[in-house]
Amino acid sequence: MQALTFGGKEIIEYSTVKDPGLLHPSDVIVKITMAGICGSDLHIYHGRETGLDHGTVMGHEFTGIVEEAGADVKKFKKGARVLSPFTTSCGECFYCRIGLTCRCEKGNLFGWVEKGHGLHGAQAGYIRVPMADSTLLPLSADLDEKKGLLLGDVFSTGYFCADNAGIKPSAVYAVIGCGPVGLMTILAARHLGAETLFAIDVIPERLAIAKQFGAIPLNPSLTDVKEEILNHTHGRGADAVMEVAGSDKTLKLAIDLIRPGGTISSAGVHTAKYFSFSPGEAYDKNLIYKSGRCPARYYAEKLLKDEVPQRYAIEDIITHQFSLEDGAKAYEVFDKKMDNCIKAVLMTR
């Protein structure tokens, strides 16, 4: 089959690789119909994440159709439309039982093979999905495929970030970073009841979408963001800041904007070795800090059950579609935000 594989720093190769096969009775093989390029893929692309084997099939966001199912698979038959979170999960261990499916004792991240161990990714014709019954979710005929793709990572992560912020209608909130996850965080925060919500970014087009989603746009290159938020909070600061950019600068901004006793909810993938604020600053702010990988399997199921994605045009953040063979170009466009790209997907039909 054809796939996009990791060839080194800023090298994505359109390669011929071996078709995946069933290794365990609980596996399925999924024919990919749509795969996403995620902001965390760019950490690998830029070499900020080390250890990935060259030749690893990239990507962890996908929808598809079951091509083959192992003997122990009960929930999915050949031809079933499915969506997937970005990690596998057993559904039975301590972490799965408490809803922290991203830390499943048997789970793995799609698109990560290190020293020969791990799972190949979804930017390919087919993918092997272990523990299929507890990993995959059905993609119903009335649910748009783009919504299904976003449920597997971006929308679930945005909702997780907003959920961790402890949204209350009367409070004041800020979201730092209006990329795909940031925009979904804004939408989720509004859904959860946020009335006064600031969106912080330097890209005007993204701020315009944030405004459409109900946020007050602030461009730090044009205005003093801290002063604006202090003015809206009688000098206190935001009740919670949702940081989704994953940089030391945005994390430092978050603690500058937060009021004493407030919450920083950080869903951005951080690769820095140290916090950009000190333990003393955290102490002086009586800071509540929540961070970590989103348990996407848990949230995707919850959001589907509550019919949340059906209420909003979350798919509007997908601005660019490419064929798999144009994957290297897709990475460049997404990385450099060319042509106002917010979210890029690969079509593999």
Q: Which class for 257: exposed (0-12), middle (13-18), buried (19 or more C-beta within 10 A)? A: buried
Domain map (residue ranges) of the chain: 2-153+295-347, 158-291
Query: Residue 233: what pLDDT?
Result: 96
Query: Residue 117: what pLDDT?
Result: 95
Encoded tokens for 172 = 């004041």
52 in helix, strand or coil?
Answer: coil
Query: Residue 268: what pLDDT?
Result: 83
Strands 216-218 and 196-200: parallel
- The single residue listed with the structure tokens 């080194």 is 8
Kindly report the CATH class assigned to 2-153+295-347. Answer: alpha beta
- Distance CA(234)–CA(230), nearest Å, equals 6
User: Same fold for the domain at 2-153+295-347 and the one at 158-291?
Assistant: no
What pLDDT tens digit does each residue of the chain (349 aa) get? 999 999 999 999 999 999 999 999 999 999 999 999 999 999 899 987 778 999 999 999 999 999 999 999 999 999 999 999 999 999 999 999 999 999 999 999 999 999 999 999 999 999 999 999 999 999 998 899 999 999 999 999 999 999 999 999 999 999 999 999 999 999 999 999 999 999 999 999 999 999 999 999 999 999 999 999 999 999 999 999 999 988 889 999 999 999 999 999 999 888 788 899 999 999 999 999 999 999 999 999 999 999 999 999 999 999 999 999 999 999 999 999 999 999 999 998 6
**CA proximity to 85, closest of 104, 63, 66:** 63
CATH number of 158-291: 3.40.50.720
Encoded tokens for 124 = 């390919």
What residue spans of the chain are helical by DSSP H?
39-45, 94-97, 132-135, 145-151, 154-164, 180-191, 204-212, 225-232, 248-257, 279-284, 296-305, 327-336
